[in-house]
Amino acid sequence: MSESAKPHHPIPQAKGEKSHGNDFSYVGIDAILEQMRRKAMKQGFELNIMVVGQSGLGKSTLMNTLFKSKVSRKSAQPNPEERIPKTIEIKSISHDIEEKGVRMKLTVIDTPGFGDQINNENCWQPIMKFINDQYETYLQEEININRKKRIPDSRVHCCIYFIPATGHCLRPLDVEFMRRLSKVVNIVPVIAKADTLTLEERDFFKQTIREELRANGIDVYPQKEFDEDAEDRIINDKIREMIPFAVVGSDQEYQVNGKKILGRKTKWGTIEVENIAHCEFAYLRDLLIRTHMQNIKDITGSIHYETYRVRRLNESNEQQQQQPRIVQANGVAAQHEALTHEM
Amino acid sequence: MKLPLLDTESSRGFILRRTATTMASTEIARQAGEGARAVPLAGHVGFDSMPDQLVNKSVNHGFCFNILCVGETGLGKSTLMDTLFNTKFEGEPTQHNQPGVTLKSNTYELQESNVRLKLTVVNTVGFGDQINKEDSYKSIVEFIDAQFEAYLQEELKIKRTLHSYHDTRIHACLYFIAPTGHSLKSLDLVTMKKLDSKVNIIPIIAKSDAISKSELAKFKIKITSELVSNGVQIYQFPTDDESVAEINSTMNSHLPFAVVGSTEEVKIGNKMVKARQYPWGTVQVENENHCDFVKLREMLIRVNMEDLREQTHTRHYELYRRCKLEEMGFKDTDPDSKPFSLQETYEAKRNEFMGELQKKEEEMRQMFVQRVKEKEAELKEAEKELHEKFDRLKKLHQDEKKKLEDKRKSLDDELNMFKQKKTAAELLQNQAQQAGGSTTLKRDKERKN
């Protein structure tokens, strides 16, 4: 019934003017961008970030600095206790923030207790379970018959992993964790409390980390294989040269040169958080929020989630096949294949 | 990477609160009640670039838009498409002698500034031309359902590529009404009633330069009242977003749009405009006093294209999906109102199906065995018959042989006898000759004497 689509390229003689109506050569297709923008602003955005690292590495402070407000777990709880939990807990807190008309539902997922025990075997398991549970919830909602207009997205978009600034190399715990989790979620490794490293030490440390990541086959965000075109690759290569970012977090303001700046005041000087000569916080913020946020969400949605879905749906198929099977003739087996393929 | 400059506002410790839109603030308050805290920002974070990031991604990906034009042959559907998108699509006017309604779709790639649009125009060929038009709407409904089905199949696949899937679902249906000036034809009413739950219908009056202004007003009123009284739900332009609410609600009152299409240009004043030239005057396509073409273009493309796509996906497609899955027997909750997972239901169904298949297979096998037995018996019969025949023939043959043998024997006997007789005769003859010789001599002697 439909003919083959030979992409026909008639270009309306657009003079590039955006005047409405009077210019008869202007059709108005690019008004869809405006429509899309309006719709996005009305709906708002969702972002779920998970922070993982030992206690005392400045995770909560960094979250507060990133979003310039009290979004961390400690600030949300009325009486924060400073004890280290016996097992890993997963605590997620949601915030509604708005900037220039753009509303965002930010969920910060904290993992107190990670890496803090004496025996840290399998400490990544509760975290992996949590991430997979979010995928499962989304999948269940998606295959419902009566499903909501907009499926609430609680999938973890990005996991910030805090590496303590030892200056030597990655610890086995770090390697294990990142190796396992880079397959299910976008990992962004950062060097925490980087004000304890000099610039040379910092560069050396970063190089060592990069080599170790490469040697272990760990693909952190931005993943090489998901670069879409040459332009993307150039931008992402520049980022890959700089990870892991050496960050310093602070939510206190000090006066420097007459301006109020976020920083840490020490006896030998003030470390400015947003100064790229001092630390790479600005790069991290740009990557996460200003330029690559949509890309992070897309990779989570279309690659990590789809991988999970394929695995999950195949699992239940296999469970089916393990039941006693009567020998089937060819015709029946072929239909079996078709069914598998449909679901 | 560029270093973003610090906001001067943040340096003053300015706390960015909600903007002037009160709607946003009530939304936040409501959401805060749902378990999220509303948190004020102490500086410029930068996620206000999110809509831009989203838009950029979409631009790189390209858009697609599918329009279905339903209407009788000769109402100017192709011309209107050409005029709307300001290009010449291929195709020639179709004949009027089609036996049934078929749908022809053509895909075009248009580009304007940096936006790439994959436009698919589907035309109904032969609509309204048959003598018996009862089944005209069927092929259209089937086509729309087929597009939904294709998308549903893709969505249900295990390994799916929704991201790069070329969406062929119909986003807008332009229904062309013939400019009779009186009322809707019954074919129109029936077709629109069947289509209104499957696609966004935008009715338009075609070739409206055939109707005068006063007749047009009456015609529009008549059409709208007929649609309402028959319960046909046409697409209403959305009025919930305040930036377009006003223009959309005015446009809603102008439905159905009375349009004129033309790709020819005529010089008016000192400009070339698209128009139709008659001896008594020129109808300018883009003159709002002459026809509603500008309104249609505004509503269809410039203001509501995204909303049309969204409605198709969230309302029409979801409805189709729900009906289809329920048809296949899936439910969300069982009688105990425990949620069934689609997976479990599917497994149960599959088991059922497999069981049925097993049964059928057994049956077939039985039948097969029986048939084989029958055939065997038949063959045995045949074999027996053959054997009998063979035996008979053999017997016949032996009989013949025997007869021949007998005959031969008798012949042999005769021959022997004959030989014997012959030899006896010869002997006799010899004897007789000897005796005869002597007798002859004797006779001769006697004679001489």
pLDDT for the residue A230: 81
Residue B51 and residue A37: Cβ atoms within 8 Å?
yes
Per-residue model confidence as pLDDT tens digits over B343-396 = 566 677 778 888 889 999 999 999 999 999 999 999 999 999 999 999 999 999
Domain count, chain A: 1
Q: Are residues B119 and B191 in the same domain?
A: yes
Per-residue model confidence as pLDDT tens digits over B66-84 = 999 998 888 888 888 888 8
Strands, sheet with A91-99, edge to edge from the N-terminal-most edge strand: A245-246, A186-191, A158-163, A45-52, A102-110, A91-99, B36-38
Domain count, chain B: 2
Structural domain of B146: 59-328
Of the two residues B15 and A277, the one the predictor is more confident about is A277
Model confidence at B104: pLDDT above 90: no
Model confidence at A61: pLDDT above 50: yes
Which of B18, B158, B357 faces A310 most closely, judged by CB atoms?
Answer: B158
Model confidence at A21: pLDDT above 60: no
Structural domain of A215: 39-72+84-319
Q: Are residues B292 and B358 in the same domain?
A: no
> Per-residue confidence at B334, pLDDT binned at 50, 70, 90?
very low
Is residue A22 a part of any domain in this protein?
no
Q: Give the ipTM.
A: 0.76
pLDDT for the residue A73: 65
Model confidence at B337: pLDDT above 80: no
Model confidence at A54: pLDDT above 60: yes
Which of A103, A239, A343 faces B346 most closely, judged by CB atoms?
Answer: A343
Q: Are residues B102 and B234 in the same domain?
A: yes
Distance CA A327, CA B151 (A): 34
Distance of CA A101 to the CA centre of its chain: 23
Residue pair A204/A167 in contact by the 8 Å Cβ criterion: yes
Which of A67, A146, A326 faces B358 most closely, judged by CB atoms?
Answer: A326
Residue pair B365/A328 in contact by the 8 Å Cβ criterion: no
Which of A13, A98, A290 faces B49 most closely, judged by CB atoms?
Answer: A290
CATH number at residue B225: 3.40.50.300
Q: Are residues B93 and B130 in the same domain?
A: yes
Is residue B37 a part of any domain in this protein?
no
Average pLDDT over all residues of chain B: 81
Is residue B372 a part of any domain in this protein?
yes
Per-residue model confidence as pLDDT tens digits over A77-108 = 655 556 666 677 888 888 888 888 888 888 98
Share of chain A above pLDDT 90, in %: 9
Q: Are residues B285 and B380 in the same domain?
A: no
Q: Is A39 on the interface with B (CB under 8 A)?
A: yes
> Per-residue confidence at B3, pLDDT binned at 50, 70, 90?
very low
Per-residue model confidence as pLDDT tens digits over B31-73 = 333 456 777 777 777 888 888 888 888 888 888 899 999 988 8
> Per-residue confidence at A268, pLDDT binned at 50, 70, 90?
confident
Global pTM value: 0.72
Is residue B312 a part of any domain in this protein?
yes
Residue B4 and residue A290: Cβ atoms within 8 Å?
yes
Per-residue model confidence as pLDDT tens digits over B184-243 = 888 888 889 989 889 999 999 988 888 888 888 889 899 999 999 988 888 888 887 777
Distance CA B178, CA B46 (A): 54
Q: How far is CA A190 from CA A163, A173, A247, A285, A304, in A?
A: 6, 15, 7, 12, 21
Is residue A329 a part of any domain in this protein?
no
Q: Which two tokens stand for residue A263?
A: 């920083």
Is residue A306 a part of any domain in this protein?
yes
Q: Are residues B259 and B395 in the same domain?
A: no
Model confidence at B336: pLDDT above 60: no
Is residue B46 a part of any domain in this protein?
no
Mutation for A interface: B169, B247, B343, most A CBs within 10 A: B343
Is residue B445 a part of any domain in this protein?
no
Residue pair A104/B27 in contact by the 8 Å Cβ criterion: no
Model confidence at A19: pLDDT above 70: no
Is residue B336 a part of any domain in this protein?
no
Q: Are residues B208 and B287 in the same domain?
A: yes
CATH number at residue A107: 3.40.50.300
Amino acid at B314: T
pLDDT for the residue A48: 92
Name the E strands within A79-204.
91-99, 102-110, 158-163, 186-191
B52 CB-near residues (< 8 Å, 6+ apart): A37
B65 CB-near residues (< 8 Å, 6+ apart): B117, B118, B119, B120, B171, B172, B305, B308, B309
Model confidence at A333: pLDDT above 50: no
Distance CA B262, CA B259 (A): 10
Q: Are residues B285 and B375 in the same domain?
A: no
Q: What SS3 state is found at B356?
A: helix
Average pLDDT over all residues of chain A: 78
Q: Are residues B323 and B415 in the same domain?
A: no
Is residue A26 a part of any domain in this protein?
no
Is residue A27 a part of any domain in this protein?
no
Residue A71 and residue B39: Cβ atoms within 8 Å?
yes
Give long-range contacts, CB 8 A cutoff, 24+ apart: B316-319: B316/B148, B316/B169, B316/B197, B316/B198, B316/B199, B316/B200, B317/B148, B317/B151, B317/B152, B317/B169, B318/A147, B318/A149, B319/B197
Q: How far is CA B369 from CA B355, B361, B362, B366, in A?
A: 21, 12, 10, 5
Is residue B174 a part of any domain in this protein?
yes
Enumerate residues 240 to 299 of chain A having a beta carbon within 8 A of any beta carbon in chain B: 253, 259-261, 274, 276, 282-283, 285-286, 289-295, 298
Is residue B53 a part of any domain in this protein?
no
pLDDT for the residue A3: 37
Find, among A281, A94, A125, the residue nearest to A195 by Cα. A281
